[in-house]
């Protein structure tokens, strides 16, 4: 595995190392170095370029990418380089330093955005030629100046920027957010601007914010429910991108173009990648071909047209070869496995009608549907059948039959939506007077008992509604309600069933505990806790301080208790003969506790953002 020196020391410009692997693919040499100072493209930061010098030959590094745990350098070459050769690597420092400054500028702007706005979730970033950061949410244009001012203030304070390698647990404990695609082929690292929360990052950064120089916010673009904050840094003074290879000649560009062409052909012929992936790699804005085409601007005008013709021919030939490319998708996800935010795909700005169709994306059930299926199956195994009861129901089933008459103060907790009675008004008095959107699934209890079949073993899973919408509440959510009514039911039965559920759902090492509580419809009533899966009920995870997930060793599942005699009576069941237990818990909450997922804003569950949902 390549040792990623650029991650440990972003200022390293030269390095002596050994070649682990060298393989010719057409005219391009693929080199895997033992230690690497070239940054491989990813996380929105473009690849480094540079040179590798062997004893008798020198290779130009055109592009670096990650493959498995190795860095692969795509090189043009005069002479030979072989596995085992000692080499000296030199990174194109102007280009790298510019990329580092752009990248750190992105982090500075992120902090500025966070301090000036609220409710945004970072999605991705691009630190290439048109850098931006993208968030889920929106920002009004009047925030442009405050963001710019705040960003430049962070720059002016010249705050140290430090990096630290971390385990996944440490990362989730310390980082301000966890991006959707953490790399599985690179070490995990967090980067901190002094005074701000660490951010997961695998790129190269300058060592203090002052090195970024003045930042301009060049645009705030809101589209659908996303917003891009576009920015620029001062680049003229530090580096001229067109001159970065230092006076390249027309002949050199032509020979590099031909190398690019034949390596593109052999990559296509290797049939290792999907058509989409090939297009981005070979023709996209970050491809070696586009890079070389840009360099034409830096050569004398008299040569430029000649080189331009070759560049066009090369492009056309690659396009033509690709248009006949028929290959079932074999997606290579390495390039997407980026350390912070995924690459931009804006370079796919063309349309080829001859391109073979790609297979439609395969979806899966929403997490809540998955949870419902799993919960239903677990209870089915011990004879609890899933039942359905109305989600728009009489107040009587939702409250009154549950020992909560109209004026009872306990009702306040349920923040209920009342809805108007359709048509003629209902009678003022009697059972069926008011209609509610069920604020809990407990309305199913008396309804199930009214069916008149005993014993009852039901699991009622349904939507519930409450007048609450904030980071920890959605106005619509789900509950599952268990009810067991029979002769001689005891708390021991309740404990046994809950223990069975907790261990089936969360894992066989889990414990439960009952805390005394109060509900109108159960006596005695309890709150049920499950031992935390991270610290195992201790409140302190292995090697850590206070457990970040539970803080106390236990996670709260929800309410339960022995069915109140008044509830049985309301359904016409004689409480002297029969009794029972019940419990009712939130599906979303129960499921989140399982994965240990901490969602900053629960409303995202129902925001229908595929990028969030496909992670589960
Ligand atoms: N319905 C209660 C709520 O929404 C939860 C609950 C507590 C249900 C105790 C029960 C129970 O069946 O026994 O908060």
Task: Give the nearest ligand 1 atom to 522 CA.
Answer: 13
- Expressed in angstroms and rounded, the spacing between residue 584 Cα and the centre of ligand 1 is 4
Phi, psi (rounded to 5 degrees) for 104: -65, -35
Task: Give the nearest ligand 1 atom to 479 CA.
Answer: 4
Ligand 1 pocket residues where CB is under 6 Å: 440, 442, 481, 519, 522, 558-561, 582-584
- Expressed in angstroms and rounded, the spacing between residue 483 Cα and the centre of ligand 1 is 11
Mean pLDDT of the region 542-552: 77
Q: According to CATH, what is the number of the domain 3-91?
A: 2.40.30.130
Task: Give the nearest ligand 1 atom to 439 CA.
Answer: 4
Which amino acid residue places its CA nearest to atom 4 of ligand 1?
Answer: 440
Which amino acid residue places its CA nearest to atom 8 of ligand 1?
Answer: 584
CB of 71 closer than 8 Å to CB of 176 = no
Q: Is it the case that residue 333 has pLDDT exceeding 70? A: no
Task: Give the nearest ligand 1 atom to 482 CA.
Answer: 12
The H-or-E segment that residue 95 falls in is helix 93-116
Both tokens assigned to 62: 């055109």
- Expressed in angstroms and rounded, the spacing between residue 377 Cα and the centre of ligand 1 is 21
pLDDT computed for residue 363 by the predictor = 86
pLDDT computed for residue 198 by the predictor = 92
As annotated, the residues of the chain forming the CATH 3.30.980.10 domain(s) are 97-233
Q: Which range, of 48-57, 323-332, 402-411, 526-535, averages the lowest pLDDT?
A: 323-332
- Expressed in angstroms and rounded, the spacing between residue 582 Cα and the centre of ligand 1 is 8
Best mutation site among 403, 411, 584 for ligand 1 pocket (most ligand atoms within 8 Å of CB): 584
Task: Tell me the HSE value of 393 on the side-chain side, using a 13 A CA sphere.
Answer: 26
Q: Is it the case that residue 87 has pLDDT exceeding 80? A: yes
Q: Is it the case that residue 65 has pLDDT exceeding 80? A: yes
- Expressed in angstroms and rounded, the spacing between residue 459 Cα and the centre of ligand 1 is 13
- Expressed in angstroms and rounded, the spacing between residue 65 Cα and the centre of ligand 1 is 55
Which amino acid residue places its CA nearest to atom 3 of ligand 1?
Answer: 440
Task: Give the nearest ligand 1 atom to 441 CA.
Answer: 1
Q: Is it the case that residue 330 has pLDDT exceeding 50? A: no
Which amino acid residue places its CA nearest to atom 12 of ligand 1?
Answer: 583
Please write the tens of the pLDDT for every residue from 28-45.
788 999 999 999 988 888
pLDDT computed for residue 26 by the predictor = 67
Residue 566 pLDDT grade (very low, low, confident, very high; cuts 50, 70, 90): very high
Please write the tens of the pLDDT for every residue from 396-442.
999 999 999 988 888 988 999 999 877 777 777 778 888 999 999 99
- Expressed in angstroms and rounded, the spacing between residue 311 Cα and the centre of ligand 1 is 71
Kindly report the average pLDDT of the chain as a whole number.
86
Q: Which range, of 450-464, 485-499, 587-601, averages the lowest pLDDT?
A: 587-601
- Expressed in angstroms and rounded, the spacing between residue 229 Cα and the centre of ligand 1 is 45
pLDDT computed for residue 353 by the predictor = 66
Task: Decide: helix, strand or coil at residue 97.
Answer: helix
CATH architecture for the domain at 367-388+454-613:
2-Layer Sandwich (3.30)
- Expressed in angstroms and rounded, the spacing between residue 508 Cα and the centre of ligand 1 is 25
Both tokens assigned to 425: 């008004």
As annotated, the residues of the chain forming the CATH 2.40.30.130 domain(s) are 3-91
Best mutation site among 398, 437, 527, 560 for ligand 1 pocket (most ligand atoms within 8 Å of CB): 560
Best mutation site among 516, 517, 559 for ligand 1 pocket (most ligand atoms within 8 Å of CB): 559
Q: What is the DSSP string of 396-436?
A: HHHTGGGT--TT-GGGGGG-PEEEPPPSSPPPSSSS---EE
pLDDT computed for residue 356 by the predictor = 67
Q: How far is CA 302 from the centre of its chain?
A: 50
Task: Give the nearest ligand 1 atom to 442 CA.
Answer: 1
Sheet holding 554-563, edge to edge: 385-387, 456-465, 476-486, 579-586, 554-563, 522-531, 512-519
Task: Give the nearest ligand 1 atom to 414 CA.
Answer: 4
- Expressed in angstroms and rounded, the spacing between residue 601 Cα and the centre of ligand 1 is 24
- Which range, 235-249, 371-385, 539-553, has the best average confidence (pLDDT)? 371-385
Q: Which range, of 66-70, 156-160, 469-473, 597-601, averages the lowest pLDDT?
A: 597-601
Query: What is d(CA 585, CA 530) in angstroms, rounded to the nearest whole number?
Result: 13
Task: Give the nearest ligand 1 atom to 445 CA.
Answer: 12
Best mutation site among 399, 442, 528 for ligand 1 pocket (most ligand atoms within 8 Å of CB): 442
Query: What is d(CA 230, CA 318) in angstroms, rounded to the nearest whole number?
Result: 32
- Of 499 and 30, which is predicted with more confidence? 499
Residue 329 pLDDT grade (very low, low, confident, very high; cuts 50, 70, 90): very low
Best mutation site among 558, 564, 588 for ligand 1 pocket (most ligand atoms within 8 Å of CB): 558
pLDDT computed for residue 541 by the predictor = 74
As annotated, the residues of the chain forming the CATH 3.30.930.10 domain(s) are 367-388+454-613
Please write the tens of the pLDDT for every residue from 132-149.
999 999 999 889 999 999
Mean pLDDT of the region 527-554: 82
Task: Give the nearest ligand 1 atom to 413 CA.
Answer: 14
Q: Where are the beta strands (DSSP E) in 253-360?
A: none
Phi, psi (rounded to 5 degrees) for 277: -65, -45
- Expressed in angstroms and rounded, the spacing between residue 55 Cα and the centre of ligand 1 is 77
- Expressed in angstroms and rounded, the spacing between residue 583 Cα and the centre of ligand 1 is 6
pLDDT computed for residue 579 by the predictor = 97
- Expressed in angstroms and rounded, the spacing between residue 571 Cα and the centre of ligand 1 is 18
- Expressed in angstroms and rounded, the spacing between residue 442 Cα and the centre of ligand 1 is 6
Q: Is the CATH number 3.40.50.2000 carried by domain 97-233?
A: no
Cis geometry, peptide bond prior to residue 524 (ω within 30 degrees of 0):
yes
Task: Give the nearest ligand 1 atom to 526 CA.
Answer: 9
Please write the tens of the pLDDT for every residue from 189-211.
899 999 999 998 888 999 999 99
- Expressed in angstroms and rounded, the spacing between residue 605 Cα and the centre of ligand 1 is 23
Query: What is d(CA 326, CA 303) in angstroms, rounded to the nearest whole number?
Result: 37
- Which range, 61-65, 100-104, 301-305, 535-539, has the best average confidence (pLDDT)? 100-104
Which amino acid residue places its CA nearest to atom 13 of ligand 1?
Answer: 560
Mean pLDDT of the region 217-227: 90
Please write the tens of the pLDDT for every residue from 90-111.
999 999 999 999 999 999 999 9
Of the chain, the percentage scoring pLDDT greater than 90 comes to 49
Which amino acid residue places its CA nearest to atom 5 of ligand 1?
Answer: 584
Number of C-beta neighbours around residue 276 at 10 A: 14
Q: According to the 3-state scheme, what is the secondary structure of 190-244?
A: EEEECCCCCEECCCCCCCEHHHHCCEEEEEEEEECCEEEEEEEECCCCCCCHHHC
């Amino acid at each position: 595995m390549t040792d990623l020196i650029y991650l440990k020391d972003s200022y390293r410009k030269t390095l002596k190392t050994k070649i682990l692997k060298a393989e010719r693919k057409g005219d391009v040499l693929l080199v895997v170095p033992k230690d690497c100072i070239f940054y491989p493209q990813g996380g929105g930061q473009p690849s480094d370029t540079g040179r590798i010098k062997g004893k008798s030959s020198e290779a130009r590094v055109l592009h670096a990418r990650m493959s498995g745990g190795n860095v692969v350098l795509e090189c043009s070459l005069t002479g030979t380089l072989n596995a085992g050769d000692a080499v000296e690597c030199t990174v194109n420092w102007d280009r790298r330093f510019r990329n580092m400054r752009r990248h750190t500028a992105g982090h500075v702007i992120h902090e500025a955005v966070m301090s000036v706005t609220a409710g945004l979730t970072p999605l991705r970033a691009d630190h290439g030629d048109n850098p931006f950061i993208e968030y889920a949410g929106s920002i009004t244009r009047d925030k442009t100046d405050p963001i710019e001012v705040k960003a430049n203030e962070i720059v002016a304070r010249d705050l140290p920027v430090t990096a630290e390698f971390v385990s996944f647990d440490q990362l989730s404990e310390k980082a301000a957010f966890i991006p959707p695609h953490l790399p599985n082929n690179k070490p995990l690292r967090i980067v901190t601007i002094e005074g701000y929360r660490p951010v997961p990052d695998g790129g190269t950064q300058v060592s203090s914010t002052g090195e970024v120089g003045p930042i301009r916010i060049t645009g705030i673009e809101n589209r659908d429910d996303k917003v891009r904050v576009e920015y620029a840094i001062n680049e003229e003074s530090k580096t001229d991108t067109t001159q970065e290879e230092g006076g390249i000649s027309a002949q050199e560009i032509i020979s590099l173009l031909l190398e690019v062409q034949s390596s593109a052909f052999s990559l296509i012929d290797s049939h290792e990648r999907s058509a989409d992936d090939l297009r981005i790699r070979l023709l996209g804005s970050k491809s070696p071909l586009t890079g070389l085409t840009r360099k034409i601007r830096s050569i004398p005008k008299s040569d430029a047209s000649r080189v331009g013709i070759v560049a066009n021919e090369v492009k056309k030939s690659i396009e033509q070869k690709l248009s006949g490319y028929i290959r079932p998708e074999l997606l290579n996800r390495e390039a997407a496995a980026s350390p912070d935010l995924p690459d931009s795909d804006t370079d796919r700005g063309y349309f080829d009608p001859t391109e073979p169709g790609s297979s439609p994306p395969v979806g899966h059930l929403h997490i809540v549907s998955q949870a419902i299926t799993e919960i239903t199956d677990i209870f089915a195994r011990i004879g609890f059948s899933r039942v359905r009861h109305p989600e728009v129901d009489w107040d009587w089933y939702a409250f009154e039959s549950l020992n909560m008459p109209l004026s009872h103060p306990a009702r306040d907790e349920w923040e209920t939506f009342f809805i108007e009675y359709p048509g003629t008004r209902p009678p003022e008095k009697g059972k069926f007077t008011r209609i509610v959107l069920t604020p809990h699934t407990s309305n199913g209890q008396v309804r199930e008992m009214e069916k008149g079949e005993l014993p009852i073993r039901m699991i009622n899973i349904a939507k519930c509604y409450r007048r609450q919408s904030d980071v920890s509440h959605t106005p619509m959510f789900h509950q599952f309600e268990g009810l067991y009514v029979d002769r001689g039911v005891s708390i021991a039965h309740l404990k046994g069933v809950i223990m069975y559920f907790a261990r089936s759902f969360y894992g066989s090492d889990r414990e439960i505990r009952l805390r005394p509580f109060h509900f109108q419809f159960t006596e005695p009533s309890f709150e049920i806790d499950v031992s935390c899966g991270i610290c195992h009920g201790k409140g302190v995870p292995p090697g850590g301080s206070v457990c970040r997930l539970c803080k106390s060793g236990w996670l709260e599942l929800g309410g339960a208790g022995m069915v109140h005699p008044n509830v049985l009576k309301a359904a016409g069941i004689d409480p002297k003969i029969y009794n029972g237990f019940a419990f009712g818990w939130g599906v979303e909450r129960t499921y989140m506790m399982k994965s240990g997922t901490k969602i900053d804003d629960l409303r995202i569950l129902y925001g229908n953002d595929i990028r969030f949902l496909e992670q589960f």
